[in-house]
């Protein structure tokens, strides 16, 4: 896996998490981070997406530690271990969102997906879907942070809402109805295992998954 564009994207995350940083201090930190090993840069990129309230302090201590001892051990050093575990949590949520995110066709020829991630992961998700669905016009909407990104032809663009999101197309309503019906009918009631289902599909992701919509409401929409 290629190293994320850490140093092209690090400033917005530093400013979001540490509004008091001066531009000179930001540039100094970025310059010093460039000297770190690629593996650590990658972990730091995902750590920054966590929006930890101690990002500035963590980066400062990390750089001081690196200058003293360049044989970094992620499991022996408490600071490095926290960075490691946090970056793993962020990457896990990105991985889950790649499978759990649901797009809906809205008027205007767009595919729209809204979600409320715990971490600020809309950038790597946008890069992923811009490549995977390169011929589609995609709108990714982080409702938690009110961030909207438009993806098309493998490129991503920051966007903002000047009008409400267009309504779903009739075709989308019909397909949603059919998918929910299929999902309900394929389940074997005698083998229902809610506990296992919650492990595989946690409740926090279900509000945006068509499979868990109220079927009667969908039926009313297309009636």
What's the total number of domains in the chain? 3
Q: Are residues 87 and 129 in the same domain?
A: no
In degrees and rounded to multiples of 5, residue 76 shows phi and psi of -90, -25
Domain final residue, candidates 96, 112, 141? 96
Q: Are residues 83 and 37 in the same domain?
A: yes
Q: Dump pLDDT digits (tens) for 23-36.
A: 556 667 777 777 78
Pairwise CA distance, residues 94 & 171, whole Å: 29
Q: Are residues 85 and 117 in the same domain?
A: no
Q: Are residues 10 and 92 in the same domain?
A: yes
In a domain, 165, yes or no: no
Q: Are residues 119 and 87 in the same domain?
A: no
Cβ-in-10-Å burial (0-12, 13-18, 19+) of 72 comes to middle
Q: Are residues 66 and 147 in the same domain?
A: no
Q: Residue 100 corresponds to which tokens in the numbers above?
A: 């759990």
Q: Are residues 49 and 66 in the same domain?
A: yes
Q: Dump pLDDT digits (tens) for 73-113.
A: 778 888 888 889 999 999 999 999 999 999 999 999 999 99
Domain that holds residue 57: 6-96
Domain final residue, candidates 74, 96, 118? 96
Q: Are residues 72 and 142 in the same domain?
A: no
**pTM, two decimal places:** 0.78
Residue 118's contacts (CB-CB under 8 Å, 6 or more residues apart) are 93, 204
Q: Residue 65 corresponds to which tokens in the numbers above?
A: 């530690």
Pairwise CA distance, residues 178 & 100, whole Å: 18
Q: Dump pLDDT digits (tens) for 149-201.
A: 999 999 999 998 888 999 999 999 898 888 888 888 887 888 888 888 888 88
What letter does residue 168 receive in the DSSP assignment? B
Domain final residue, candidates 96, 129, 150? 96
Which residues are bridge partners to 159 per DSSP? 148
In a domain, 1, yes or no: no
Q: Are residues 112 and 138 in the same domain?
A: yes
- Share in percent of the chain as helix, strand, coil (round to 5): 55, 10, 30
Q: Higher pLDDT residue, 16 or 195?
A: 195
Total residue length of the chain: 223
């Amino acid at each position: 896996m290629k190293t994320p564009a850490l140093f092209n994207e690090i400033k917005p995350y530093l400013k979001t998490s540490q509004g008091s940083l001066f531009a000179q201090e930001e540039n100094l930190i970025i310059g010093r981070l460039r000297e770190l090993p690629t593996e650590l840069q990658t972990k730091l990129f995902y750590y920054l997406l966590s929006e930890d309230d101690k990002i500035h302090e963590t980066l400062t201590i990390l750089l001081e530690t690196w200058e003293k001892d360049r044989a970094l051990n992620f499991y022996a050093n408490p600071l490095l271990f926290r960075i490691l575990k946090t970056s793993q949590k962020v990457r896990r949520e990105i991985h889950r969102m790649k499978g759990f995110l649901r797009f809906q066709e809205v008027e205007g020829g767009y595919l729209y997906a809204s979600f409320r991630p715990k971490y600020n992961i809309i950038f790597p998700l946008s890069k992923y879907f811009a490549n995977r669905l390169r011929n589609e016009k995609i709108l990714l909407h982080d409702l938690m942070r009110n961030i909207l990104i438009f993806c098309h032809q493998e490129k991503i663009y920051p966007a903002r809402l000047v009008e409400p999101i267009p309504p779903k197309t009739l075709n989308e309503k019909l397909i949603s109805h059919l998918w929910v019906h299929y999902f309900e009918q394929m389940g074997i009631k005698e083998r229902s295992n809610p506990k296992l289902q919650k492990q595989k599909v946690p409740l926090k992701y279900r509000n945006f998954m068509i499979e868990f919509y109220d079927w009667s409401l969908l039926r009313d929409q297309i009636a």
